[in-house]
A and B are shown apart, each in its own frame.
Chain A
Amino acid sequence: MVGLSVDTIPKLWRLARLDYDPVRQRPILLYPEGAVLLNETGAAVLELVDGKRTVGEIAAILGERYQTDVSTDVAEYLAGLADRELIQ
């Protein structure tokens, strides 16, 4: 999959909400008629999506946190969600 470019400023779809499901004990993305159960890294990416940071800035923050280059993973993960119109 082609990732989003580093300069893209991803924004969560207006109808989607990042939440935590205490029953499944998993972070979760909720939107009309649907839900995506997230893993820890997916949630870490989405928590940084605020409509201001670029893909590059998000990758840099996480790269520092995990002490490894995550830029390709972040760009592809967000592209996957953009393809489903959950990221705009």
Chain B
Amino acid sequence: MTSDRPTTLLAELTHRCPLHCPYCSNPLELIRAEAELTTDEWKRVFSQARELGVLQLGLSGGEPLVRKDLEELAAHAHSLGLYQTLVTSGLGLTRKRAEALKDAGLEHVQISIQDSDTESAERIAGVSSVKQKRAAVALVQELGFAFSINVVLHRANLDRIGEIIELAGSMGADRLELANTQYYGWGLKNRATLMPTREQVQRAKEIAEAAIERYRKKMQIIFVLPDYYEQYPKACYGGWGKTYIVVAPNGQALPCHAASMIATLSFPTVRDHSLEWIWQESPGFQAFRGDSWMKEPCRSCPRKTVDFGGCRCQAFALTGDAANTDPVCTLTPLRHIVDEGIAEAGAPAEWEYRVLAGEPQRA
């Protein structure tokens, strides 16, 4: 079938990161520095992406500032006309680098905040980081970047959502993304500890909705409900292979950052194939386009054009078959799997920090 043009490339430049957040969206098997794409390889990927129709580029990781060539990559992307977002923890953003990135044409910086409470924020990140983040925020403001703050929400910080919103407001963010934890990889591993209760979610939703109105035209607030508490699944990136490409540090191209977990599919790398071939022809990107792959209850469901059966990665992670309906959907008999996940909320458990295989767990 014919494919649409992609609009967004998320470039996971590296999996190296000074933070150890237990909900990290990187896969459990982190890619080591030796396997990362070179500067020239990334530049080629950006050029191919632009030719394919990509408009938005996320410079992400891991921590993208770990890459010494970030400024060169940003300059190249800027020359192609891509709208770039640096997705960073803020750690490593020195004045010199921030100025160089500004000169390179970087427009938008997104800094992660773990919590409004310093002690809790550093416990979540697994490392002392708040002071450095504040310094990064001040630099981003001073240099006039478009500025977003991103907060991943979970049981340990959700009750402070009001304080978190006020903190982001006081930092002068243009935009605040309040994203509840998604349960893949590290998040799924730590689900029992991260899962909020229904009461927490309800209260947070009310506070967020009031803040969205209060901050209108000052700070754009995006609040994403945890999909486990929804009735229907999320329409992941508008459907599989529809708008979004992720390139992992080693060049593996994926329709979603979590897709490498789908063991029944293989995904090619940009070292072996052009991005155009990967997008148009590769079996991995074709696998769940359209609706011919769907089973019941999706196949005959009018919502299949709304949510496309939900998330393939979640279907695989929770049911073992990526072609099943996303078990978040209350129309599938598989929904009990998600309800059992919710029932874990409140169970006493310690989270496992994100570390490289072989690296010691953090206290």
Binding site for A on B (CB under 8 A): 5, 7-8, 50-53, 55-56, 81, 83, 85, 107-108, 110, 146, 148, 174-175, 216-217, 220
Contacts and interface: CB of A to CB of B under 8 A. Distances in A.
A15 B219 CA distance: 11
A57 B108 CA distance: 31
A22 B194 CA distance: 44
Interface in A46-88: 85, 88
A35 B56 contact: yes
A72 to B, nearest CB: 24
Interface of A: 14-15, 17, 19, 21, 23-24, 28, 30-35, 85, 88
B148 A85 contact: no
B56 A33 contact: yes
Contacts of A28: 55
A10 B131 CA distance: 38
Contact of B53 (A24, A32, A85): A24
A23 B56 contact: no
A81 to B, nearest CB: 13
A23 B217 contact: no
A30 B110 CA distance: 16
A21 B55 contact: yes
A23 B51 contact: yes
A43 to B, nearest CB: 15
A32 B216 contact: no
A34 B237 CA distance: 11
A68 B244 CA distance: 41
Given A15-B108, A32-B85, A33-B85, 8 more contacts: A15-B146, A15-B175, A30-B55, A32-B108, A33-B56, A35-B55, A35-B83, A85-B216
Contacts of B83: 17, 30-32, 35
A41 B174 CA distance: 28
B177 to A, nearest CB: 8
The CB with the most chain B CB atoms within 10 A, among A21, A23, A32, A34, is that of: A32
A33 B56 CA distance: 7
Q: Which are the 3 A-B pairs with shortest beta-carbon distances?
A: A15-B146, A30-B83, A23-B53
B5 A14 contact: no
Nearest to A32: B108
B5 A23 contact: yes
Contacts of B85: 32-33
A44 to B, nearest CB: 21
B175 A32 contact: yes
Contacts of B107: 15, 17
Contacts of A23: 5, 50-53
A21 B174 CA distance: 25
Nearest to A17: B83
Contacts of A14: 146, 174
A34 B222 CA distance: 13
B84 to A, nearest CB: 10
A17 B55 CA distance: 12
A15 B140 CA distance: 14
Contact of A32 (B7, B51, B52, B146): B146
A73 B107 CA distance: 32
28 contacts: A14-B174, A15-B107, A15-B108, A15-B146, A15-B174, A17-B83, A17-B107, A21-B55, A23-B5, A23-B50, A23-B51, A23-B52, A24-B5, A30-B56, A32-B83, A32-B108, A32-B110, A32-B148, A32-B175, A33-B8, A33-B56, A33-B85, A34-B56, A35-B7, A35-B55, A35-B83, A85-B216, A88-B217
